[in-house]
Amino acid sequence: MTAIAILLLAAAIAFGLSKFLRLPSIPLLLLAGAGLNALAGYAAVEVPQELIRDMIEIGLAVLVFAAGVELSPRRMRGRARAVTILAVVQFLALGLAGGLTAIWLGYEWTTALYIGCALSASSTLVVVRQLQQRRQMFEPYGRLVLGVLLLQDIFIVLIMVALLKVPEGWLTVIHSLANAVALGFLAVAFHRWVVPFVVKRMKLDDEELMLGALAVLFAFSAMASLLNLPFLVGAFLAGFAISAFPMNGLVRGMLGSLSGFFLALFFISVGAFLTFPDWQMLGHGLIFIAVLIVVTVLLVAVVAEVVGYSSRAAVEAGLLLSQTSEFSLLLALTGVASGQISGELFSLIALITVSTMALTPFISRESVALRLVKWHPRYRSGEGACEVMAGHAVVLGYGRAGPRTLHALKERGIDVVVVDEDAGVIRHLIAQGIPCVQGNGSDVRTLELAHCREAKVVFCSMRRTRDAQRALEYLKDCPTETIVRVFEPFEADEVVAAGGHPVQTAHAASAQFLDWVEVNLPKAASRP
């Protein structure tokens, strides 16, 4: 109990410093754990290594379970092809890049294989948290990223099972993979039939629901152990099994504080388990981090755009996926337990994982994505130079309503300039002879190219209201009327305060838009 109290005290101090200094909590938790390890010679602060290993495994089980709850396959509907292509290409390319880099740095092939696999998957824990904070879980690129995470987690679980059984021969590897697949099919059946039945037929209160979720976790972990699989494989499949809506939302709400508690214990324990890296290890870690970020951003940006996503969405997806996974630590931990890799390599993988997790909130910012998109060659070549215009209409974001909007404006003899960031949309508009600018409606340079200050009206139908806020700021003190599509009442209030005219929800948007057009833009006289 004293050792657990020491871990909790160190976690509390780390969280307090995180809040006070406004820094990410994960690095500080690791430093606190490393501090405990450095003071291990003092009896008052000594934490047994067995307890640290147990805390790492328990913490990973809860975190992996929570990650599985977020990965409902229903979010892949209509995107299966794009998700599969991107997940497979990223996983294989990053694994190959990581393995070749390790061999170039002098590591032997088994170690290089572990490093390549550790670099190949992205963190569900970090990415989901970022999407939730930005309210982008249900945006197209958010659904794409979640689908990629699901497939990558499945890939790395299977690879982890195979790597652990390689010393026992290929027949054992095949048998273990068959067991993992069978347990996966059981999780799919539970997801499709058992969870919907429970939700429809039984009314569970919060305590019963929590006990039921934990029972599923323990049941799948026990079945994994009976099948001679890592029990963490069962924990992930248990989370996936109850990821169906609305069960996942209910469980997620109850797991919030619980997963936060075990998150703290996990990273404190990982920090206490690490060996202090020498300068060579630090240098190698920086090289692997650079390879991971550069390859992920470039590769995901290219592949996501090829499968139909806009340049900006593709770059944002690449930035969000540019970190290693909690499964990387799981893979390294099981490798250490089996004797296939050393504790020093575990420390290197943990260094890469934690560093990239801590960097993700900074490198995945919208401002970073916009800067990278400006370097896109198709982005620049797609920009159409519009003639000097005045009294025209500007449509920021073509979307599904774009054709109807253009038709309504043409009926009234109003010239139109369309601004969109999707290269495919721009090519389509150019083929139709419609003046257009490829870019983002929140970018001042793009707004200048569309002559928004000289326009009669600007329609903002961009997917994010904060993009419209930037356009409103640019158009401040101009006579231009600005109509903004919004989704929430508080967003409407913000638009009004900024001088715009909000239109809430799709149905209201069409009605209010047509009313505004009828009053302010009368139809042009019919031509003979």
- The yes-or-no verdict on residue 505 having pLDDT over 80 is no
CA 134/CA 221 separation, integer angstroms: 33
Tell me what the mean pLDDT of segment 198-218 comes to.
78
Q: What is the pLDDT of residue 514?
A: 56
Give 484's strand partners.
460, 502
Residue 218 burial by Cβ neighbours in a 10 Å radius (0-12, 13-18, 19+): middle
How does pLDDT run across 422-476, given as a tens digit for each residue? 766 777 788 888 888 877 788 888 888 888 999 999 999 887 777 888 899 999 8
Ranked by mean pLDDT, the top range of 79-93, 139-153, 242-256, 492-506 is: 79-93
Q: What is the pLDDT of residue 213?
A: 85
Higher pLDDT among residues 31 and 161, named by residue: 161
Tell me what the mean pLDDT of segment 323-350 comes to.
86
Tell me what the mean pLDDT of segment 381-400 comes to.
73
Mean pLDDT score across all residues of the chain: 82
Q: What is the pLDDT of residue 507?
A: 46
Nearest alpha carbon to residue 353 among 278, 299, 274:
274
Q: Please answer whether residues 179 and 231 qualify as being in contact, where contact means their C-beta atoms are separated by less than 8 angstroms.
A: no
- The yes-or-no verdict on residue 526 having pLDDT over 50 is no
How does pLDDT run across 114-131, given as a tens digit for each residue? 999 999 989 887 888 888
How many C-beta atoms surround the C-beta of residue 465 within 10 A? Answer: 20
Tokens 């009828």, residue located: 518
Q: What is the pLDDT of residue 108?
A: 92
Tell me what the mean pLDDT of segment 398-409 comes to.
83
- The yes-or-no verdict on residue 256 having pLDDT over 70 is no
- The yes-or-no verdict on residue 518 having pLDDT over 80 is no
Tell me what the mean pLDDT of segment 84-90 comes to.
93
pLDDT band at 181 (very low <50, low <70, confident <90, very high): very high
Q: State percent of the chain over pLDDT 70.
A: 88
pTM for the whole structure: 0.77
69-99 burial, b if ≥16 CB within 10 A, otherwise e? bbbbbebbeebeebbeebbebbbebbbebbb
Q: Please answer whether residues 405 and 459 qualify as being in contact, where contact means their C-beta atoms are separated by less than 8 angstroms.
A: yes
CA 406/CA 44 separation, integer angstroms: 74
Q: Please answer whether residues 216 and 241 qualify as being in contact, where contact means their C-beta atoms are separated by less than 8 angstroms.
A: yes
481-494 burial, b if ≥16 CB within 10 A, otherwise e? bbbbbbbeeebbeb
- The yes-or-no verdict on residue 508 having pLDDT over 50 is no
Q: Which amino acid is at 462?
A: M
Higher pLDDT among residues 241 and 198, named by residue: 241
- The yes-or-no verdict on residue 24 having pLDDT over 80 is no
Q: How far is residue 191 from each of residues 3, 147, 166, 233, 294, measured CA to CA in Å?
A: 39, 16, 31, 16, 36
For 66-80, 394-408, 506-520, which range has the lowest pLDDT when averaged over its residues?
506-520
Tell me, which fold does domain 382-520 have in CATH?
Rossmann fold (3.40.50)
Ranked by mean pLDDT, the top range of 84-88, 481-485, 506-510 is: 84-88
- Which conformational region is residue 477 in: left (phi greater than 0), alpha (psi within -120 to 50 degrees), or beta? left
For 75-79, 107-111, 508-512, which range has the lowest pLDDT when averaged over its residues?
508-512
Token pair listed for 168? 């026992």
How does pLDDT run across 263-288, given as a tens digit for each residue? 788 888 888 877 777 889 899 999 99
Domain residues of the chain, as ranges? 2-374, 382-520
Ranked by mean pLDDT, the top range of 14-28, 135-149, 421-435 is: 135-149
Q: Kindly report the CA angle at 478 between 476 and 484, in degrees rounded to 5?
A: 60
Higher pLDDT among residues 387 and 33, named by residue: 33
- The yes-or-no verdict on residue 240 having pLDDT over 60 is yes
pLDDT band at 41 (very low <50, low <70, confident <90, very high): low
- The yes-or-no verdict on residue 248 having pLDDT over 80 is no
CATH class of 2-374: mainly alpha
Tell me what the mean pLDDT of segment 259-265 comes to.
79
Tell me what the mean pLDDT of segment 8-20 comes to.
83
